[in-house]
Structure 1
Amino acid sequence: MSNYSSESSAFHGRGVFKVYILGGGPAGLALAHGLTQDSNASFVLLERGSSLGGLAQTIHWSGNGFHDLGPHKIFTLNQALMARVEHLLSPEDWLTRPKKSSIYIGGYFLPYPPSPFSLIQVYGLASFSAMVFDYGLAQISSVLTSKRPLTFEADLQGRVGTKLYEALFKPIALKLWDDPAQLDVKLSQGRVQTPSLTELVKRSLKMNQSSNFEALEFRYPKGGLQKLWQAIATQTSHQGEYRLNQEVCHLTVDNNTIRTIHYRDRITGSVQQIPVNPDDWVVSTLPLLKLTELMGEALKPTTTTRMQQIIQLNDLILVFLKIDQPSLLDESWVFVPDPNIVFHRLSEQESFDPQMTPGGSIICCEVMGSKTRAMSQRCDSDLIALVKQGLKDMGYKGFSVLDQRVIRLPSSYPVYKSGFEPVLDTILSQLDRFANFRTIGRQGSFNYIGTLDAMDIGYGTAEWLIRQMTGQQEYSWKQERDRTSHYPVLD
């Protein structure tokens, strides 16, 4: 068994309880941190990987430096949450980085979101005028109608008009998820923030210094996101224990209560178990579909069937290139809706912390694999070749590739199919009926969220648990679920 921190010194008694946390991503780690900040509760965290952080890890690439699993900015409009995360590290351990993004369309790099004037050079005056007219009609229609859009496509068409939607938003949706006419409106409302016409004009004229729909700058921990997870592990070790390389393989359920956690050591292969006391809690951040394996017959057959019907997860494939130049991009990241280029987003670790990639730069190209886009079946060499060709087609040149690697994150990207939400609510309500069990986070509640959103859920769960154990029951779990059901992503 591999423990990340010192052995737990907690005890069990009235007013003191233990929480078993399944999964060591941002939500699970924030839960552990919140418990130790605000109570004398103890915890045991089980993580199947060899390090903490989940999809927000920092990886050491031998001989090439360090990089995250894709671009992860530290930003939120929730100032209390932002301050709490910043206080994990000392002020000198934080960088403030400008956030500049662009979108590659028709051979042009346009600022994202594209200004009205920048679209003229791509589409010409006649097509642009038609887009503006169509946009205006959409804005008028949105004021006059009370009909709520139900799909990604209907929502974006209503916000920006059909012509602009077809040119900008539909291509990227097809690359990332699936047919946007079959995607739920929650996906567009959470993932695609569009400015008002007034803000667009002000941004074009450089009159705006802030934005209500995107981050203009962000914070980043020196050395990578792993510094945050290391800080939480260090600060919570007096009340908790981190068991790495431990994969949960079964949950024994009796009388609607979790009684035993069975887990397998991925190094030795041995299977061990933890008895769960009556006053203890089990909080899972594991994928919802994983629960069908862990709980087995304790779940109603209809619950399992419904999960399998609505939960669709695409595969994210990250192609990393170490190049001999100190920097390749002018932007933090570039969106690439062009269907002829294999990746949908391009980023560079140098934009987050230049000191992480000595002797050059590390480029990250994100490729999505889905049911209709069979990229996951491609071998690494094919993917690398396609990525290099895509960079060449975009006009990037004057650099040499020193090293290359592919990291696959299967079933990691949630896809909201139209009408999924009422079914998901029913599933979560059924799972919440287990007396000492809750499932939370990006994977644990099928919630398409960012790093700080996941941490917010973890902190909120800690606060709720503490209220339950101290008799403050006026705040229901349903209220907490509702609070964390929608997070707009500010790109």
Structure 2
Amino acid sequence: MSFDQPDEKMRAVVIGGGPAGLAAAYTLQSQSDEWRPVVYEMGDIVGGISRTENNKGYRFDIGGHRFFTKVERVTDFWHEVLEDEFITRPRLSRIYYEGKFYAYPLKIFNALANLGPIEAVKIMASYGYRMVRPHPAEDNLEQWVSNRFGDRLYNTFFKTYTEKVWGMKCTEIRADWAAQRIKNLNVAKAVWNAISGANDTVSLIEEFEYPRLGPGQMWEVCEEKINKRGGHVQKKTEVVKVHRDGNRVTGITIKPRGGEEEFVPGDAFINSMDLKNLIYRFDPPPPQEVIEAANKLKYRDFLIVTLVLDDADPFPDNWIYIHSPEVNVGRIQNFRAWSPDMVPDPNTSSIGMEYFCHEGDGLWEMSDEDLIKLAGKELEHIGLSKADRVKDGMIIRQPKAYPVYDGEYMEALDVILDWIDTLKNFQTAGRNGLHRYNNQDHSILSAMYAAENILGANHSVRDVNVDRAYHEEFTVDEKQKAG
């Protein structure tokens, strides 16, 4: 794309074509005729970690993405973009631990039946102990969870899975992660609700909306609409430099895959690239303390092994959390349970085996053939299907999938964001752009705020989703029924 001729409209340059980047461009177009957004995405398709990949007609997510939010304007945005392509799907998920499946969200009677009466008594005693003698500090995830659920329940349902996901001890994970991702429920109250049938609190959702062809359909349609409105989304293009003159950004240098570098000027800029790489790309560089802070940010990488089985619907769940340490897989998706249209042949199934790893480690470097064999073997070990039912597979490796909340991140993040706040025409938004483990709704909201700030609003983008107890991951179901 050539920029020899200046646009009549002011140009908003957006770095990254994931949910945040595309939502920013779409919002800017929806609210103003004076701006033209141009979006640069390094990947082959838009959507970031919310994209939908395709292997011979089998569509699959890079992890499952439910479309659920308490933010009404995000819901309105989803439906405006995708219109009537949403379907409503029942939610079913379980936990696999020590050879048994537990309902998830946890149902008290189901969990106690699996654990047995002796272990159940120990769990309740441990919970009671922490109610009387809580950890005096809540600096890390172990302290935060144990204070709310007791040490024994923490060790049973939180510790093994969380350490598998993050590759680090729960004592090294900040309590901030727990505050964002774990809803603060009362175990004693949940037991009473189970016995009495009471339901005096808001229950967790039992169904959710989902694009018929996967979450990537949302972003592919969004891309089309941005282009039709006169914006520009350019894929397979890396942003290699961010140029600034004092406290104003003047443009970026892009490098299309297989092409030459090109300077792109702009009037305003919104970033959704990960902060570590962003800081490295500034020219001239930011102050040394900002670079040192960027060096402290860490990420957890991820790969998914998608298996095609000649076994239709081997299990009914949308997804299963695998807490057992004897297998490497962390979560298993059943994509037909998300949408029947994700699977072209009804006599087959499409299963996503998710592995949490670090770029360059043994799992990451394993060959595709060996990963497919490993995934089939572990699927059989868990008892969900036979390894010889695997007929095809595909591997997607996703670097920097999850920002890590360790002991260094918060101070480092403040240093970086405080410096970015000094730039007059540059904002950062989204999961990696804020180094915040947001779901896509909050990533979208942060991008909407950034777009509106260009138009004169004064939103605090960095404060989106700092409230506690929003998410419902790792919770006890408050709508308790026996069994």
| Shared fold, TM over 0.5 | yes
The answer on whether the counterparts of 2:149 and 2:187 sit within 8 Å (CA) in structure 1 is: no
Deviations 1:86-118 (A, max 9, x none): 222223x21111111110111111101333323
Mapped to 2, the partners of 1:203 and 1:402 lie a distance apart of 46
Mapped to 2, the partners of 1:222 and 1:128 lie a distance apart of 41
Alignment of 1:322-401 (within 5 A): 322-359=308-345, 360-370=348-358, 374-397=362-385, 400-401=389-390
Mapped to 2, the partners of 1:217 and 1:303 lie a distance apart of 44
Q: Cα distance, 1:397 vs. partner?
A: 2.9
Alignment of 1:242-261 (within 5 A): 242-261=233-252
Q: Cα distance, 1:198 vs. partner?
A: 6.2
Residue number in structure 2 paired with 1:231: 221
The 3-state SS of whatever aligns with 2:385 is coil
Mapped to 1, the partners of 2:191 and 2:274 lie a distance apart of 43
Evaluate the alpha carbon distance shift between residue 75 and residue 447 of structure 1 in structure 2; reply closer, same or farther with a 3 A threshold.
same
Does 2:270 align with 1:283? yes
Residue number in structure 2 paired with 1:472: none
Evaluate the alpha carbon distance shift between residue 203 and residue 358 of structure 1 in structure 2; reply closer, same or farther with a 3 A threshold.
farther
The answer on whether the counterparts of 2:294 and 2:416 sit within 8 Å (CA) in structure 1 is: yes
Evaluate the alpha carbon distance shift between residue 121 and residue 9 of structure 1 in structure 2; reply closer, same or farther with a 3 A threshold.
farther
Evaluate the alpha carbon distance shift between residue 205 and residue 27 of structure 1 in structure 2; reply closer, same or farther with a 3 A threshold.
farther
Deviations 1:185-209 (A, max 9, x none): 0111222335433663477469478
Alignment of 1:65-464 (within 5 A): 65-91=58-84, 93-141=85-133, 147-177=136-166, 178-193=168-183, 195-197=185-187, 200-201=190-191, 204=194, 207=197, 212=202, 214-237=204-227, 238-266=229-257, 268-276=258-266, 280-309=267-296, 311-359=297-345, 360-370=348-358, 374-397=362-385, 400-464=389-453
- Identity percentage of aligned residues: 24
Does 2:11 align with 1:11? no
The answer on whether the counterparts of 2:238 and 2:255 sit within 8 Å (CA) in structure 1 is: yes
The answer on whether the counterparts of 1:199 and 1:208 sit within 8 Å (CA) in structure 2 is: no
Q: Which amino acid aligns with 2:240?
A: C
Q: Cα distance, 1:402 vs. partner?
A: 1.5
The 3-state SS of whatever aligns with 2:177 is helix
Q: Cα distance, 1:46 vs. partner?
A: 1.1
Deviations 1:126-145 (A, max 9, x none): 22101011112323446xx8
Deviations 1:399-428 (A, max 9, x none): 711201111112222211025223312211
The 3-state SS of whatever aligns with 1:375 is helix
Q: How many residues are paired up?
A: 464
Mapped to 1, the partners of 2:109 and 2:435 lie a distance apart of 39
Mapped to 2, the partners of 1:226 and 1:203 lie a distance apart of 39
Q: Cα distance, 1:33 vs. partner?
A: 1.0
The answer on whether the counterparts of 1:321 and 1:363 sit within 8 Å (CA) in structure 2 is: yes
Evaluate the alpha carbon distance shift between residue 236 and residue 489 of structure 1 in structure 2; reply closer, same or farther with a 3 A threshold.
same
Mapped to 2, the partners of 1:447 and 1:161 lie a distance apart of 27
Evaluate the alpha carbon distance shift between residue 203 and residue 42 of structure 1 in structure 2; reply closer, same or farther with a 3 A threshold.
farther
Evaluate the alpha carbon distance shift between residue 372 and residue 29 of structure 1 in structure 2; reply closer, same or farther with a 3 A threshold.
closer
List gaps (5 residues or longer) in structure 1: 3-7, 469-474
Task: State the superposition RMSD in angstroms.
Answer: 2.6
Mapped to 2, the partners of 1:9 and 1:489 lie a distance apart of 45
The answer on whether the counterparts of 1:105 and 1:122 sit within 8 Å (CA) in structure 2 is: no
Evaluate the alpha carbon distance shift between residue 243 and residue 415 of structure 1 in structure 2; reply closer, same or farther with a 3 A threshold.
same
Q: Cα distance, 1:262 vs. partner?
A: 0.8
TM-score w.r.t. length of structure 2: 0.89
The 3-state SS of whatever aligns with 1:166 is helix
The answer on whether the counterparts of 2:243 and 2:283 sit within 8 Å (CA) in structure 1 is: no
List gaps (5 residues or longer) in structure 2: 474-483
Deviations 1:168-191 (A, max 9, x none): 111011101111101100111222
Residue number in structure 1 paired with 2:472: 490
The 3-state SS of whatever aligns with 1:404 is strand
The answer on whether the counterparts of 1:194 and 1:213 sit within 8 Å (CA) in structure 2 is: no
Q: Which amino acid aligns with 2:328?
A: V
Deviations 1:57-83 (A, max 9, x none): 111212x42122221111112233213
The answer on whether the counterparts of 2:301 and 2:359 sit within 8 Å (CA) in structure 1 is: no
Mapped to 2, the partners of 1:374 and 1:72 lie a distance apart of 27
